[in-house]
């Protein structure tokens, strides 16, 4: 199959592209190489993907609709997987316009290309942050997501709604997946695990928000990729729910799926795993919760499991160990 994946220089896009290439598919990767974090890391990911003829990179911002149209016409994808976005809950407080430009305008342009090409399946990344002020756990796909707590969450919820409207109007089979705290090798420098390891190796304290009482449904990146690969084959069909746990739209070939293991872990337990893997104490600086944070995330993975007979299961100690090994190797520390 032929894929266009947006965000292939990013953490998740890189892992997904590498897996699809290994499975014998062709991937055209689109990435803007923004300076939100170290571009050198992004280029290193693309360099690895570029070692095969089954990958072709295209560097431009998704707001550039003419370039996106040209690439889509050249690559003729069977499937589009839209992962590119301005990420980061906290950064949305500092630079909100970046989220409007990348997440709303960029997603609209990708949807227009999917409509024009009549792709067999359009998949897009959302986030557990859309559950916002919802306190009923575990989070289920059919629950209301009307109270986002950050602009980041609001833009991702908006992209879900935009994609639903296109699925209805143009009958584009569409799956929106909500990620739950993804971590692993080649992770982003703004993510907690990266910060914890970097600070500890430098002998510096880490910031532990929420006084360490928060919980997260951590999802190892390989588990996430396996879930997406399986979901590619499960294009929703209007009027044909495949499970009693039904998030299929009543008006479109559109479905929302959580990708998380349903195993929340305490933040301090996560820090303990870092400490054990590094073999050195982690100095902690306890702070209150930041604006936009939620005390806990907890995925209901029942729908994912029923759709693809799989859900994330990698233990925290294994996932953290793999990240630490990569970090030491990549940065030679």
CB of 180 within 8 A of CB of 129?
no
Let me know if 183 is a catalytic residue. no
Give strand pairing partners of 80: 4, 122
Q: Which of 131, 152, 166, 270 is catalytic?
A: 152
3-class SS of residue 183: strand
CB of 190 within 8 A of CB of 37?
yes
Neighbours of 45 (CB within 10 A): 21
Residue 184, sorted as left (phi over 0), alpha (psi -120 to 50) or beta, turns out to be left
Angle, helices 221-232/11-22, rounded to nearest 10 degrees:
60
Torsion of CA 320, 321, 325, 328, to 10 degrees: 60
What CA–CA distance (Å, rounded) separates 233 from 241?
A: 15
3-class SS of residue 314: coil
What CA–CA distance (Å, rounded) separates 167 from 282?
A: 48
What CA–CA distance (Å, rounded) separates 197 from 174?
A: 37
What CA–CA distance (Å, rounded) separates 79 from 59?
A: 19
In which element (H, E) is residue 318 found?
Answer: helix 316-331
- Residues involved in catalysis: 152
């Amino acid at each position: 199959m032929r894929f266009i994946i947006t965000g292939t220089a990013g953490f998740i896009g890189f892992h997904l592209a590498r897996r699809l290439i290994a499975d014998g598919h062709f991937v055209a990767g689109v990435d803007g190489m923004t300076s939100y974090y170290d571009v050198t890391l992004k280029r290193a990911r693309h360099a690895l993907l570029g070692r095969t003829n089954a990958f072709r990179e295209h560097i431009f911002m998704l707001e550039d609709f003419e370039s996106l149209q040209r690439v889509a016409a050249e690559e003729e994808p069977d499937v589009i997987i839209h992962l590119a976005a301005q990420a980061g809950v906290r950064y949305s407080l500092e630079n909100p316009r970046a989220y409007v430009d990348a997440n709303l305008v960029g997603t609209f342009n990708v949807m227009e290309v999917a409509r024009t090409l009549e792709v067999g399946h359009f998949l897009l990344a959302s986030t557990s942050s859309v559950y916002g002020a919802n306190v009923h756990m575990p989070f289920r796909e059919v629950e209301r997501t009307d109270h986002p707590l950050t602009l980041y969450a609001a833009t991702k919820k908006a992209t879900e709604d935009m994609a639903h409207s296109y699925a209805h109007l143009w009958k584009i089979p569409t799956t929106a997946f909500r990620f739950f705290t993804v971590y692993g090798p080649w992770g982003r420098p703004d993510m907690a695990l990266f910060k914890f390891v970097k600070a500890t190796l430098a002998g510096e304290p880490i910031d532990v928000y929420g006084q360490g009482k928060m919980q997260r449904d951590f999802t190892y990146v390989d588990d996430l990729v396996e879930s997406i690969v399986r979901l590619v084959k499960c294009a929703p069909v209007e009027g044909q729910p495949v499970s009693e746990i039904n998030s299929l739209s009543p008006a479109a070939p559109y479905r929302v799926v959580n990708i998380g293991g349903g195993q929340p872990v305490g933040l301090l337990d996560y820090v303990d795993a870092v400490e054990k893997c590094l073999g050195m104490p982690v100095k902690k600086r306890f702070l209150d919760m930041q604006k936009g944070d939620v005390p806990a995330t907890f995925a209901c993975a029942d729908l994912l499991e029923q759709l693809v007979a799989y859900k994330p299961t990698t233990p925290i100690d294994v996932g953290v160990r793999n990240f630490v090994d990569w970090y030491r190797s990549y940065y030679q520390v």
